[in-house]
Structure 1
Amino acid sequence: MATVVRENIGLLHDKITVKVNKDDYYPSFEKKIKEYSKTANIPGFRKGMVPAGIIKKMYGNSLFTDEILKSVEKELYTYLNNEKPEIFAQPLPLPNNISSVDSNNPVEHEFSFEMGLKPAFTLPDFEKVTPTFNKVAVTDAMVDEEIGRMQIKAGKMTEPEQVDNEDNVLNLAFTETDKEGNIIEGGVAKDTSVILKYFTSAIQKEFKGKKVGDAIALQLNKAFDADKLVMMLQDFGLEKEDTEAGKKYFSAAITKIGLVEKREMNEEFFNEVYPGKNIATEAELRTALKEEIQQYWDAQSRNQLHDQLYHYILDNTSMDFPADFLKRWLQNGGEQTKTEDQAEKEYPGFSNQLKWTLITDKLIQDNKLEVTNDELKDNMRNEIMRYFGTMGMGDDTSWLESYVDRMMKDEKQVDSSYRRLITEKIFNWVESQVTPKEKEVTPEALTAMQHNHQH
């Protein structure tokens, strides 16, 4: 009769030894030999009439080994199903001397496996943390800027005779030259569009009054401030870290001058930007826009608050791991094996991700958080609406429901929606356990916080 013995070999690291004897595997081996003898197609014998002794001689050790391993696997997983140890992934086989297996000598065989155990841990006390809700207060200037963008987006492109406005869109043919303006053979050549105000003030003055066909000479690092210079270097296919690239000289020839005439503020414009909301005046537009901008920044503030909570939980939850086992699992547990150095390099990020997964699993289980089928459908429905919009939909939404049904059959779509919704529920629950202090910040400051955060 098979036996399974479990022993501890390290921190959260156990060894399982499975012993099987002849009675555990030999009957199935003999059955397999008989099955082969009935189906084998071997020259000199009629199909189905091959003697078992011949089959055993030809395939015996291979079939014998398979049946032993099947028996061991069965005993191992029976033990795991009965005992239900909290383990990472699956047990890994330890070095076993499989070469000693001999179908002519059915004796007891022993196989060992290692498994990594999940740690027990306690979540931090949420009453001890006071995160900051970094709130952006929407100003009239922010509303003005957004209205200006909307007017330009809905505006009409004109082609003035000469450059006379900082908002002129210039189609330029850039040709690399030397300092004296001589064209460099094989140098950089690029046709691109640049808004006049992106240039430095000195270059803007040079362009003013110029017409199609006119050209000016410029040096990149003198023509653009640092942030715009990076953008232009990338556009030209040059390395932004290459300080010499910014010193290059160019001839910039105007091939087209454009200017967007801003859309007039009238009821037709209001209905285009906010269809179905019956906005009739600029004041009503400003109110609707201010609410929308505030909603956007409040959502960004909540995301940043959740980031603070993420780091608080992660940094204040103490957790041990069976590091040696997990590194070996990184090497051998995936579709492709990795070297020891690769596993060592990946382990810190992997263990950090593993820690967060265990934390979220505990939050979900302890607080009975779940995502229902209806919530998944609603989420997918909203995604489709955001993507396609509601224009022209009318009362017939059958196409939408059909689309949702197709998405619900896509395992990847369902998994993606589930992860997004359960993460939202996790952070909503954690947020309900704390009392943030509110602090007013600028949009730039909040954006910088989001840019600098690291998971």
Structure 2
Amino acid sequence: MNITKEQIDDLNAVVKVDITREDYQDKVEKILKDYRRQANIPGFRKGQVPMGLIKKQYGKAVLVDEVNKLIQDNLNNYLTEEKLDVLGNPLPKQQDNFNWDADEFSFEFELGLAPEFEVNLKTKKSIPHYKIVADKKMVSEQVDRIKRQYGKLVSKAVIEKGFEVTGNFSNESEEINRDSTIELDKIKSKKALDALVGSKVGDTVTLKTKGLFKEDYLLPSVLGVSGEKAEGLNIDVDFTIQEINEREPAELTTELFDRLFGEGTVSSEEEMRAKIKEDAEKQFEQQADQKLLNDVTERLIDTVKFELPVEFLQKWIQTTGEKTLSEEEAKDEYEKSEKGLRYQLIEGKIIKDNNIELQFDELKEFAKGFIKSQMAQYGQMNPSDEDLEPILMRVLSNQDEVKRLSEQLMSKKLLDLYKEKANLKVKEVTYDNFVKEVYG
């Protein structure tokens, strides 16, 4: 067997594979002899079928199969030995009048080669690195929410602003009959508020559903209808008042601090506010990091320039999917995937240039941290190694989970690299301003 390469240009090459009779004959003969020993053909005893009949019946199929195996194994070895960085897979060139009855065969394969390029993380224009801060207003709102959540309900005779009211919502034609509790602070409609304030237990107030609440998600749960039905719902509902309560804010005591943050963690309102700020900013950091990762990715795609073997890639897309595409369909698919392919190559270059590797021990620790964070959501703050180990082994035995965690760990390593080497400019913003700037 002989394999040679013809370089068409920097991004395209053709590999020619020449196969002689000596390369495949022994394997083909051995397989046909095995077939002969096992063949059950009427008129012949098992193992006594003439070899000529075996060759006539199975010879061509065995030859094609063995030649294809030879090509696949040797072509892959050649690409590895020659250190050819190919895109997609080699594409066989169409050969007219190919003759499988010949003793020698020649096959040609088109290659799309990865371009050579350099990546400079120090882009000319700086990339914003958001630092999201929890301002005093946000912290105060959270303190107020905690006070209300852990406060006590005091029964009242007449509704006033800020009270909580329990009652029955009904509309016979829409089959609505639901007992619910509403907070007057969450009502948007001034007309509804005016109708409720001053009412007593036993009174029935008619409310219009459209624009009733400040948040749209409240209406379906209050009325007991689907979100789809609640969207755009504009009807009158009768609200019969059953119970009126004022929620007295909880006092900020050591008992409440221990309940919220763990024993001895917080001992004063000042420390509580500092803890709320710290915890909020930790959560915001994940969002800021994801934004940074996206921004660096976009900037690198825009600034790192290189050519791709477009014609080859479109042909590869056209012929290697579940179904053969037309040239126009393949072109469309290429245009959709080009950006992703470019970043895949850029990311691979960054990983190689900076010797970034994933070690199993690192992945194991990363998975352990992920499991701990999941358990913390269910109140298990400090699980023991004995508790963690069986869960960890179960996670690491799942290939999909290992792949997902490996991708997350690689993203973290790339993010750390970008923070160290990219041209970043820290931009401190409140969460509200971050949302406005990023999501409009």
Amino acid aligned to 2:206: I
For 2:121 and 2:188, how far apart are their aligned partners in 1? 53
For 1:202 and 1:339, how far apart are their aligned partners in 2? 60
Q: 1:329 aligns with which of 303, 313, 316?
A: 316
TM-superposed CA distance for 1:7, in Å, is 3.0
Q: 1:449 aligns with which of 423, 437, 440?
A: 437
1:233-266 CA deviation, whole Å, 9 max, x = no partner?
89541596xxxx46x3332535866766544422
For 1:124 and 1:395, how far apart are their aligned partners in 2? 43
- Paired position in structure 2 for 1:53: 52
- Paired position in structure 2 for 1:267: 254
TM-superposed CA distance for 1:224, in Å, is 5.1
- Paired position in structure 2 for 1:220: 210
- Paired position in structure 1 for 2:17: 18
Is the 2:16–2:108 contact (alpha carbons within 8 Å) kept by the matching residues of 1?
yes
SS of 2:287 mapped into structure 1: helix
Is the 2:289–2:415 contact (alpha carbons within 8 Å) kept by the matching residues of 1?
no
For 1:354 and 1:135, how far apart are their aligned partners in 2? 30
- Paired position in structure 1 for 2:145: 149
SS of 2:86 mapped into structure 1: coil
- Paired position in structure 2 for 1:178: none
Is the 1:127–1:433 contact (alpha carbons within 8 Å) kept by the matching residues of 2?
no
| Identity score, percent | 24
1:403-448 CA deviation, whole Å, 9 max, x = no partner?
2233222222222222112211112112212454444433112123
Alpha-carbon distance change, 49 to 158 in structure 1, aligned in 2, over 3 angstroms: farther
Quick check: 1:204 aligned with 2:193?
yes
Quick check: 1:339 aligned with 2:320?
no
Is the 2:91–2:110 contact (alpha carbons within 8 Å) kept by the matching residues of 1?
yes
Alpha-carbon distance change, 212 to 367 in structure 1, aligned in 2, over 3 angstroms: farther
For 2:425 and 2:382, how far apart are their aligned partners in 1? 44
Alpha-carbon distance change, 100 to 190 in structure 1, aligned in 2, over 3 angstroms: farther
For 1:156 and 1:327, how far apart are their aligned partners in 2? 67
| 18-27 vs 190-199, greater mean Cα deviation | 190-199
Q: 1:410 aligns with which of 383, 388, 398?
A: 398
Alpha-carbon distance change, 427 to 51 in structure 1, aligned in 2, over 3 angstroms: same
1:302-328 CA deviation, whole Å, 9 max, x = no partner?
443343322222210112212232233
TM-score w.r.t. length of structure 2: 0.84
Alpha-carbon distance change, 11 to 367 in structure 1, aligned in 2, over 3 angstroms: closer
Is the 1:11–1:321 contact (alpha carbons within 8 Å) kept by the matching residues of 2?
no
Alpha-carbon distance change, 69 to 164 in structure 1, aligned in 2, over 3 angstroms: same
SS of 1:216 mapped into structure 2: strand
For 1:55 and 1:324, how far apart are their aligned partners in 2? 44
Alpha-carbon distance change, 287 to 42 in structure 1, aligned in 2, over 3 angstroms: same
For 2:6 and 2:133, how far apart are their aligned partners in 1? 61
Is the 1:36–1:55 contact (alpha carbons within 8 Å) kept by the matching residues of 2?
yes
TM-superposed CA distance for 1:37, in Å, is 0.3
SS of 1:220 mapped into structure 2: coil
SS of 1:113 mapped into structure 2: strand
For 2:368 and 2:70, how far apart are their aligned partners in 1? 49
SS of 2:106 mapped into structure 1: strand
RMSD: 3.4
SS of 1:253 mapped into structure 2: strand
TM-superposed CA distance for 1:146, in Å, is 1.2
Is the 2:203–2:240 contact (alpha carbons within 8 Å) kept by the matching residues of 1?
yes
| 111-120 vs 275-284, greater mean Cα deviation | 275-284
For 1:58 and 1:193, how far apart are their aligned partners in 2? 81
Q: 2:164 aligns with which of 161, 168, 189?
A: 168
- Paired position in structure 2 for 1:131: 127
Quick check: 1:425 aligned with 2:413?
yes
Amino acid aligned to 1:220: K
TM-superposed CA distance for 1:157, in Å, is 6.8
TM-superposed CA distance for 1:332, in Å, is 3.9
Is the 1:188–1:236 contact (alpha carbons within 8 Å) kept by the matching residues of 2?
no
1:45-74 CA deviation, whole Å, 9 max, x = no partner?
222222211211222222222223223334
SS of 1:126 mapped into structure 2: coil
Quick check: 1:253 aligned with 2:243?
no
For 1:115 and 1:338, how far apart are their aligned partners in 2? 19
For 2:323 and 2:177, how far apart are their aligned partners in 1? 45
Amino acid aligned to 2:208: L
SS of 1:318 mapped into structure 2: coil
Amino acid aligned to 1:418: S
SS of 2:410 mapped into structure 1: helix
- Paired position in structure 1 for 2:111: 115
- Paired position in structure 2 for 1:363: 350
For 1:286 and 1:154, how far apart are their aligned partners in 2? 16
TM-superposed CA distance for 1:118, in Å, is 0.8
Is the 1:162–1:257 contact (alpha carbons within 8 Å) kept by the matching residues of 2?
no
Amino acid aligned to 1:79: Y
Is the 1:129–1:434 contact (alpha carbons within 8 Å) kept by the matching residues of 2?
no
Amino acid aligned to 2:316: W
SS of 2:87 mapped into structure 1: coil
Alpha-carbon distance change, 53 to 395 in structure 1, aligned in 2, over 3 angstroms: closer
TM-superposed CA distance for 1:381, in Å, is 1.4
Is the 2:192–2:207 contact (alpha carbons within 8 Å) kept by the matching residues of 1?
no
Quick check: 1:320 aligned with 2:322?
no
Alpha-carbon distance change, 297 to 57 in structure 1, aligned in 2, over 3 angstroms: closer
TM-superposed CA distance for 1:81, in Å, is 2.7
For 2:121 and 2:269, how far apart are their aligned partners in 1? 49
Alpha-carbon distance change, 112 to 164 in structure 1, aligned in 2, over 3 angstroms: farther
Matches within 5 A, 1:278-317: 278-317=265-304
1:336-387 CA deviation, whole Å, 9 max, x = no partner?
3363355433323322111111111111111112233232122211211111
Can you give the 5+ residue segments of structure 2 that lack an aligned partner in the other structure? none
- Paired position in structure 2 for 1:140: 136
For 1:387 and 1:256, how far apart are their aligned partners in 2? 40
SS of 2:117 mapped into structure 1: coil
Is the 2:372–2:381 contact (alpha carbons within 8 Å) kept by the matching residues of 1?
no
Amino acid aligned to 2:288: S
- Paired position in structure 2 for 1:237: 228
